[in-house]
Amino acid sequence: MDIGIDKIGFYTPNVFVDMEKLAEVRGVDPAKYTIGIGQEKMAIAPLHHDSVSMAANAALSILDDEDKAAIDFVLFGTESGVDHSKSGAVWVHQLTGIQKNARCVELKQACYGATAGIKMAMGHIALNPESKVLVLGSDIAKYGLKTGGEPTQGAGAVAIVLSQNPRVMSLDNDSASMTKDISDFWRPLYSDYAFVDGKFSNEAYLSFLKEVWNNYKEQTRRELSDFEAMCFHLPYTKMGKKAILALTEDADESEAKRLMNSYHDSIHYNKQVGNVYTGSLYLSLLSLLEQGPELEEGARIGLFSYGSGAVGEFFSGVVKPDYKQFLNKEAHEAVLDDRRELSIDEYETTLEQALPKDGSDVDIDNEQVNVGKAHLAAIKENIRMYAIK
């Protein structure tokens, strides 16, 4: 059965910080952030945006009435969940108007959560060919002010509708995965900020990539030359370059050059948003599909998902004919262009704002919310209340 991505959309908050200005204030050469890390702008989430409201906005941007009637599973990948019990998927289900018999659940394994959702969705559709599944990846990446991870923060969400006979990309039913208990990046329950062993996390990412790629190659007999492009989990866009170099270290130099051509298209959105954890790989795929030249029907794209802690997976898909017709390039460019730049003072205040931790009620200022957007409006008696403006 042909199963894959029928629709894909994304959302990011409407404020950002400029990386060159942040570097200047931190006393760092701006080229370290823009070239060394590879980020131009970093999305910041004000209090009215959390993983739920961002995911709802990403989903609202792609769902039509037919999807809402056919979706029978909502799988929400996040590592910035807002409740220990209730899944973010339940709020997204309500905010988007998906039919009431759908199942809703949240999945967690660092940045790997949305990929787990995709794998589960494929199995579900194989057993229930008429169903559609909504997979969400939504996160706020926060390391804190003046930390090593500061230039690799970000916020945003990706929403994907999977179905049989998809219009954007078929997903191959073969992949290679691996799990290893390591402490490269984690976030204890008490902390709003992630902890990270930065250098070790880079090494772990690359060693997972090499191992799952070798296993994938052995299993499928595919080689680098079978791929038109590769997309990677992008905690920051330079990581994609490191990944291509790691995959091509034993290959002909021309292979690295060829893959680097599509790399620039695949980082276009990510370099303006930053790390969105679970959504990062799919934001990169969307960027490649929307910003790159039209790929021929059947062109194969490799996908590497990595979630610290750690789980990694290499899988692949092939593009469908006329897939560009089913994307929303202009709308996504508008999401990025319609943002307001925060001064460094505003950024610092916004990043450190937090909801009360003592259970007191709060009304959230929604002045900055754009019309039509889902947002967190209030917390009353410990219950989160979302609204669409």
Q: Among residues 48, 49, 79, 268, which one is catalytic?
A: 79
Q: Is 233 an active-site residue?
A: yes
Phi and psi of 16, rounded to 5°? -145, 165
Give the footprint of ligand HMG on this chain (CB under 6 A). Answer: 29, 31-32, 35-37, 79, 110-111, 148-149, 151-152, 184-185, 196, 198-199, 201-202, 205, 233, 235-236, 238-239, 275, 277, 306-308
Distance of closest approach, residue 307 Cβ to ligand HMG, in angstroms? 4
Distance of closest approach, residue 62 Cβ to ligand HMG, in angstroms? 24
Q: Among residues 48, 93, 106, 111, which one is catalytic?
A: 111
For residues 233 and 373, which CB has a smaller minimum distance to ligand HMG in the complex? 233
Nearest residue relative to ligand HMG (C-beta): 36
Cβ pair 295, 308 in contact under 8 A: no
Distance of closest approach, residue 36 Cβ to ligand HMG, in angstroms? 2
Distance of closest approach, residue 204 Cβ to ligand HMG, in angstroms? 7
Distance of closest approach, residue 6 Cβ to ligand HMG, in angstroms? 26
What's the rounded Cα separation, in Å, for the pair 106 and 244? 31
For residues 236 and 315, which CB has a smaller minimum distance to ligand HMG in the complex? 236
Q: Among residues 233, 268, 332, 375, which one is catalytic?
A: 233
Q: Which residues are catalytic?
A: 79, 111, 233
